[in-house]
Chain A
Amino acid sequence: MRVEGVLRASRANLLGLLLLPWLGFADVSQAQAPPAAGPPEADPAPEPTLKMLLAYWPDLDWSKPAPPGARAPSKDPRDLSGIWRQAKAHLYLQPDEGAAPNGWAPYTPEAKGVFMHRLRMNFEGTPVAEALVYCRPIGVVRGLTFPIPFEIIQQPGQIWQLFGEGGTRVIYMDQQHPKELKPSYMGHSVGRWEGGTLVVDSAGFNDKTWLDMAGSPHGEKLHVVERYAKSSDGSYIDVEIIIEDPDFYTRPFTIKTKNIWHPELEIPNYHCEDNPRAVVVKGVTTYR
């Protein structure tokens, strides 16, 4: 999938490198760098505010539907197969409980410290090296909220979910979590149908992934419950993601995503290990 986008962005290098292979799926303008948050002040740096954070890691609008004439989706609520893309990319996981988002995720004081360090390093132009940029799998929460499509393939007893940025998971429909789970990037997932809603329970994660682009941390106690409810016309799936990790968050919190049917897309051969490096020409970051 050849990309011919040009990013205006020194600040968005990290985001740009990760998103570049996907820009073919959306207007390039949607993924351009957000307005600068301003240079860091003299030491000590001020505590980043939520406003600064959301200016840096905004929710991107990817709600464009499938093009006219695209293959129609199945209306069967239990048929989730196909390619889906988030209507809104959550680069920072604001909890979605209640009518209005209430800002910060409910970090424990220690988790808030870790998060603020990551945020500050980004603001200062020296982002913390994270697992995803070293080609590790994306993790479940970030895979579901990252602005890239995912594919669902249903097999007897198993639902496979392939994330375009890297990371494959299987949801076992006929078993429970084993007693001993070796921690992994994508964890271990079991699912069941509650009427037309798929409920997925995941545990057994390692602590190496980030929950979002901004750097929300988690540990090995991360427990994720997802509820997939397909719209009556089949054109989108509402996914509710409940995140629980008592070591990093003071309470469970919920992220809601809407995932739009996109039969015209495919999960391409994206190989992080061969990720073409950005080239900076006259101050403009381009893609070779």
Chain B
Amino acid sequence: MMAVFSPDYVRPAARRLLCAIAAAIACCGLLLGASEATAASPPDFSGYWRALGSNALLKTREAQAPPLRPQSLETYRRNIAARAKGDLGFDSLYRCQPPGVPRALTLSPFRILQTGEQLMYLFDWNQVKRRVAVNGSHSTADDPTFMGEAIGTWNEGVLVVSSTHFNDRTLLDDALPHSESLEIVERIRLVQPDVLEDVITITDPETFDSPWTLVLRFGRLPATAPWVEDVCTDRITTLLTVDAK
């Protein structure tokens, strides 16, 4: 924001005046939200967060069903029916495989460890990690993964995250399928000091008729909450006995 007011050719005295005006405007909150910061110092999302509300079956921002193509709709309905019967074989989560995005954001609380170069998400669920590299670029390798590849860019106080390189073995929620064409763009900002908003646009032409957008909100948990080691295989496994000695 300051850059707008202080190009190099403006004389120092004028720059100071313009900066003062900009600061006054910012303080009054006329143009800048209280939680937004200048481009020079992005806001700090570090903390311990938990998704608000119920997100087991995602809806669009307009509270509509996601625009599934006919074949995907069939899969979606089949998944819901199977889950109702307690048959979870369709869900790789129950084989301890990583939840993917955005499901990981809704499944368990998570921490964000933010530095200048990255935001490291540490999910409580099975200690899954997601690294958002700041100002990087997507790789050209054809190397799909559960959690995808996330590149973030600061735009004023908003972190815009582009995620690609997903495999097709996760679900977007408890039932929503997707393909390897999945691309996710998130616009993340602090709407209150203790509320993080994530506006998520999902594009996957193999699965959906059109891109669609949902909104997740996260409430802040105490940063001092102890780290509890969650080990998925210990939770679900009674078949394998590990020789501890």
Contact = CB atoms under 8 A, between A and B. Distances in A.
Interface in A183-214: 184-186, 207-208
B97 interface: yes
A134 B127 contact: no
Interface stretch (A53-61, A84-92, A123-131, A221-229): A123-131
Interface string A58-78: 000000000000000000000
Nearest to B143: A2
B115 A136 contact: no
Nearest to B244: A208
Contacts, number: 78
B13 interface: no
Contacts of B11: none
B234 interface: yes
B123 to A, nearest CB: 10
Contacts of A2: 141, 143
Contact of B245 (A135, A167, A186, A217): A217
A81 B115 contact: yes
B215 interface: no
A49 interface: no
B233 A128 contact: no
Contacts of A41: none
Contact of B231 (A114, A129, A137, A160): A137
Interface string A168-194: 111000000000000011100000000
B59 interface: no
A160 B229 CA distance: 13
B100 to A, nearest CB: 11
Nearest to B113: A153
Given A1-B143, A153-B115, A274-B146, A168 B233 contact: no
Interface string A255-288: 0000000000011010101100000000000000
B98 A184 contact: no
A17 interface: no
A166 B129 CA distance: 10
A6 interface: no
A189 to B, nearest CB: 10
B96 A135 contact: yes
Interface string B233-245: 1100100101111
B227 A267 contact: no
B46 A155 contact: yes
B95 interface: yes
**For chain A, which range describes its interface: under 10, 10 to 19, 20 to 34, or 35 or more residues?**
35 or more
A162 interface: yes
A162 B120 contact: yes
Interface centre among B127, B141, B233 (most CB of A within 10 A): B127
Nearest to B95: A273
Interface string B109-139: 0000101000010100011010100000000
A134 B235 CA distance: 13
A165 B245 CA distance: 21
A87 to B, nearest CB: 24
B143 A208 contact: no
B160 interface: no
A273 B96 contact: yes
B213 interface: no
Contacts of A271: 97-98, 146
Given A185-B231, A267-B131, A134 B143 contact: no
A134 B231 CA distance: 11
Interface of B: 46, 95-98, 113, 115, 120, 122, 126-127, 129, 131, 141, 143, 145-147, 224, 227, 229, 231-234, 237, 240, 242-245
Interface of A: 1-2, 81, 114, 128-131, 134-137, 151, 153, 155, 157, 160, 162, 166-170, 184-186, 207-208, 217, 266-267, 269, 271, 273-274
Q: Which 5 interchain pairs have the tightest Cβ spacing? A: A273-B96, A184-B229, A153-B113, A170-B227, A208-B244
18 contacts: A1-B143, A2-B141, A128-B243, A131-B244, A135-B233, A137-B229, A137-B231, A155-B113, A162-B122, A166-B127, A168-B127, A168-B129, A168-B227, A169-B227, A185-B229, A273-B126, A274-B98, A274-B146
